[in-house]
Structure 1
Amino acid sequence: MADLGQIVKAYDVRGVYPDQLDDRLAELFGAAFVEVTGAAAIVVGHDMRPSSPHLAASFAKGAVRRGADATLIGLCSTDQLYYASGALDLPGAMFTASHNPARYNGIKMCRAGAAPVGQDTGLAEIRALAETWLADGAPPPETAGKPGAAGTITRRDTLKDYAAHLLSLVELSANRPLKVVVDAGNGMGGHTVPTVFAGLPVDLVPMYFELDGTFPNHEANPLDPANIVDLQARVLAEGADLGLAFDGDADRCFVVDERGRGVSPSAITALVAERELAKHPGGMVIHNLITSWSVPEVVREHGGTPVRTRVGHSFIKAEMARTGAIFGGEHSAHYYFREFWNADTGMLAALHVLAALGGQSGPLSELLASYDRYVGSGEINSTVDDQTARVAAVRDAFTDRQGVTIDELDGLTVTTPDWWFNVRASNTEPLLRLNVEARDEPTMSKIRDEALTLIRT
């Protein structure tokens, strides 16, 4: 039996095309997806990577062989696929490798209403079926008991409906005009932003809106400081009010203020949490364990209840569904909304930032000052050969220190009254990810450097 363990991750499929993920395998995944979800119909979208249209079509082919109807929505952002899944009440699949380099592709899957599919919610079963059929060397079997009863394939454009839904959730018509630079990174933001921003009181300055899955200008990963240098320079050159950077599949949004300085996603989480709590007093707000201390503080200050959880969209969405939370945010610039089927949409978070900034007269840096209370390292990635051994070395070095508490909800989190850090393994790459926060810069730098030395030794 073939082993798909290298590409089936905790909450998606991710691999190099065509060495690890090809059209044949996509067809098997499509058939297995229908079998596991029991879907009579599905919706499929894809990003701008050269391999994405072929993979999406193959996935639909497999679904159709199992008797399901497939609606292809073509080029879309991941949150546009979630919109289609929610609005049409259909399970969905999005072909994208997000911010990974051009040679990668992948599949993000969800049940009807954008409910997540992860290892514990169907992905393990999908993998097992695909492995079995792959070992057989034949096409995925037709619907049991109904040979020849294939489903149908139709096409549908959801972009305008997606934009209208987002704009129904945030009021911007009374805003002062804002000059906004948007770096789409040659990703799907170049497809969605023009439609979403049309008619808003926004002077849009586009950067790298040409769809190009080879990413000729920079990687579409705005959390890497090297990838927002162009945006920062352009914000200053244009005298813009702010800058927005989207990742490759445009489900994440990173913000740059009027000074050209990157804004912590935790500050954005706190800002949006306050706005959502104003609409839904007393609500619960989810934050992962890597967000700043400022997030639960702001939530409590505005009458809400913060709920701490693991990193990753399937975990956040499951916790939102379980608790009925109104909003959730992650350090990686994923933002989740109850009004968006508990799914993540960086575009909706961006609209909240525009609404908050345009509703008052001050600059963005001034608006966000009350939400940015601590000094953070940002996420620092280290390539390591043995993730488990390196994490164990960090744990051993800090376990017996006075005032230290340790938990392993997700990776290793070490906390004291004055600082905390988390080190965890990537689900998609051979990396350890370190995040550090402290009450002042010297303390943060000291703990960061000590942890990095242990990780990289």
Structure 2
Amino acid sequence: MSTSTTIIYQPKTEFNPITISSFKAYDIRGELGVNLDEEIAYRIGRAFAQILYQRYHAASTQPDDTTSLRPAIVIGSDIRHSSEQLKQAAIAGMMDAGIDVIDLGMSGTEEVYFATSHYQALGGIEVTASHNPINYNGLKLVKEHSKPISADDGLAEIQALAESGKFTTDNPSGKLQLLTDKSTYVDHVMTFIDTDKLKPLKLVINSGNGSAGPVVDLLIEKLAQANTHVEVIKLHHAPDGSFPNGIPNPMIEANRVATQQAVLEHNADLGIAFDGDFDRCFLFNEKGEFIDGSYVVGMLAQAFLNKYPNESIVYDPRVIYNTEAVINDHGGNAVISKSGHSFIKQVMRDSSAVYGGEMSAHHYFRDFFYCDSGMIPWLLTIELLSITGKTLSELVAGYIEAYPSSGELNFRLTTHDAPAIINAIEKNFSVQNPVKSTLDGLSLNFGEWRFNLRASNTEPLIRLNIESRGDRKLLDTKIQEINEWLAAQGARPA
């Protein structure tokens, strides 16, 4: 533990009203020098701290689950070259609001989630742009107990205060601690598996030159200390904010090639890849094939229900057939939620779900403060490979055959907006009398096949997922049919 005394950013003493357009539905993301810079990061940090501090003091007269907290905020940052400066600006803002700050140094988003709860802090910030282009950055915010903050649950209030610049000035400056030791976090992550059950395995782990590398090293060390025989081939391992091997985003097919080739070259049992802040985990089987996230959700749901019978599992509505079948077949309680981490986490808390998963490769765990982790899924997977004696392709083959799906197909809008297209496709298919859900976009279920069409929260895109019950030919026919229909509406494959 050490105390940092140098704050790089020197804020203004007076703040005029400005407009900050980098606030999104669940977090803050913007283009550097356009709608995100050090002044904006300072304002956000100061507004965030002021609002949480006011809530903390109000709770002292009305005791609730915030009364055991300490008046401090945790902050970390990814490896991007701009992240340290933005972090220091946010730190200056929080300290000027009278809040103590715990700086985790270079870290992943899940480390902030863990530290916020572990240190009983009022909230946490991760400075990251995850998988966005190199000229972008952002801030992910959580409040007490690592609970998410959304536009309708505090984020809009933070934006309004940051834009107005009407900050309180009567609080003494907060103090800053630099706490970069990751051992407690790593120890907690390791509790999710029984290392005595692990068999010899060879893994390829692609950290994408993001923030994952140091944590991967610590987990490998823990596996070695437990006398396991897990061999790891490290790919694009060293953190490097210039991203010499491209932005770490395994959702892009071209970015999967290096991992796939390494799995085949080294005859590995499993390939693992992360995005920049490693809150998402992507898996490749022993053949180098990318495993769609919806099947990973089913696999982990089954693993959890084998350990914890009759528990609730939360999943998103984009692809559901396989997940629902797995949960029902293994005696679990299936709980559907709108996609997005704020919704998933709240539904998990409401249902006390042991696990939640999204096809986008976000995986959430009750024993990780209902937060998502990119490290826990691959550890659970190597435990599952060891316990079953099966390969990953064997574990998911039955899922894929029983419930084939298209994977997420993205379309760029050119002539119509998303609501117009969604309304039109609903009208087009209404004559077939499907079961309709508008929980998240539009879902139409025709019995033997279904689709979900939803607008992107961040880009001028609509996202399509189609699945069928064991009929690959039907699936292919429907993919072609809806592709052609969308093209007629001016939506082009992105």
| TM-score (normalised: structure 2) | 0.87
Q: CA deviation at 1:115?
A: 0.6
Match of 1:282 among 310, 325, 337: 310
**Paired letter, 2:272:** L
C-alpha spacing 1:421/1:187, structure 2 compared with 1 (3 Å): same
Which of 396, 419, 427 aligns to 2:449? It is 419
Q: CA deviation at 1:152?
A: 0.9
Q: Given that residues 292 and 374 in structure 1 are in contact (C-alpha distance below 8 angstroms), is that contact kept between their aligned partners in structure 2?
A: no
Contact 2:313 2:334 in 1 (8 A): yes
Q: Which residue of 2 aligns with 1:115?
A: 147
Are 1:399 and 1:406, in contact at CA under 8 Å, matched by a contact in 2? no
Counterpart of 2:19 in structure 1 is 3
Aligned position for 1:137: none
Matched to 1:96, the amino acid is T
CA distance in 1, matches of 2:190, 2:284: 22
> Which structure 2 residues correspond to residues 329-348 of structure 1 after superposition, within 5 A?
329-348=357-376
Structure 2 distance, partners of 1:283, 1:102, is: 41
In the other structure, the counterpart of 2:60 is none
Question: Retained in 1: the 8 A contact 2:47–2:167?
Answer: no
- 1:161 and 1:335 map into 2 onto residues whose CA distance is 21
> CA 1:213–1:382 in 2, change beyond 3 Å: closer, same or farther?
farther
The structure 2 residue matched to 1:384, chosen from 413, 420, 423, is 413
Whether 1:263 and 2:291 are equivalent positions in the alignment is yes
User: Which residue in the other structure is 2:66 paired with?
Assistant: none
Tell me the residue number matched to 2:214.
Answer: 191
**RMSD value, Cα:** 1.6
Question: Among residues 221, 224, 227, which one is paired with 2:252 in the alignment?
Answer: 224
| Aligned-pair CA distance for 1:272 | 1.6
Matches within 5 A, 1:438-457: 438-439=468-469, 440-456=471-487, 457=490
Q: Call closer, same or farther: CA 1:218–1:453 in 2, change over 3 Å.
A: farther
Matched, 1:310 2:338: yes
Q: Deviations over 1:425-446 (max 9, x none)?
A: 1112222111111232222222
Map 1:36-185 → 2, pairs under 5 A: 36-38=51-53, 40-90=71-121, 91-133=123-165, 141-143=167-169, 145-146=170-171, 149-185=172-208
How far did residue 344 of structure 1 move? Answer: 0.2
Give secondary structure in 2 for the equivalent of 1:353. helix
Which deviations, in whole Å up to 9, do the C-alpha atoms of 1:80-130 show, x marking residues without a partner?
A: 111111211221001111111111111111012211111122111111111
Uncovered stretches (5+) of structure 1, i.e. residues with no partner: 134-139
Offset at residue 3 of structure 1 (A):
3.5
Offset, 1:278: 3.0
Q: Which amino acid aligns with 2:167?
A: P
Q: Which 10-residue stretch deviates more, 288-297 or 366-375?
A: 366-375
Whether the 8 Å contact between 2:47 and 2:161 is mirrored in structure 1 is: yes
1:10 to partner: Cα distance: 1.2
Q: What secondary structure does 2:388 align onto?
A: coil
Q: Does the 8 Å CA contact 1:421/1:437 hold for their aligned counterparts?
A: yes
Task: Name the CA distance, whole Å, in 1 between partners of 2:205 and 2:134.
Answer: 21
Q: Which stretch of the first structure deviates more once superposed, 186-195 or 63-72? A: 186-195
Distance 1:113 1:271 in 2: 28
Alpha-carbon deviation of 1:329?
A: 0.2
CA shift for structure 1 position 186: 1.3
Q: Shift of residue 399 of structure 1?
A: 2.2
Contact 2:411 2:461 in 1 (8 A): yes
Instruction: Tell me how far apart the structure 1 counterparts of residues 167 and 392 of structure 2 sit (CA, whole Å).
Output: 56
Shift of 1:271: 1.9
CA 288–158 in structure 1, closer or farther in 2 if over 3 Å, else same: farther
| 3-state DSSP of counterpart to 2:195 | coil
Select the residue among 337, 351, 370 that pairs with 2:379: 351
Matching residue of 2:67? none
Report the CA distance shift for 1:293/1:158 in structure 2 as closer, same or farther (over 3 A): farther
Taking structure 1 as the reference length, the TM-score comes to: 0.94
- Name the SS for the 1:164 alignment partner: helix
Higher Cα Rg: structure 1 or 2?
A: 2
Moved more, 196-205 or 124-133: 196-205
Aligned equivalents of 1:218, 1:445: Cα separation in 2: 32
Q: Contact 1:235 / 1:242 at 8 angstroms: preserved in 2?
A: yes
Work out whether residues 281 and 303 of structure 1, in 8 Å CA contact, stay in contact via their aligned partners in 2: yes
Matching residue's letter, 1:217: N
Residue 142 of structure 1, CA deviation: 4.2
1:405 is displaced (CA, Å) by 2.2
Tell me how many residue pairs correspond in the alignment.
446
- Aligned partners of 2:128, 2:480: CA distance in 1, in Å? 34
State the identity as a percent.
Answer: 37
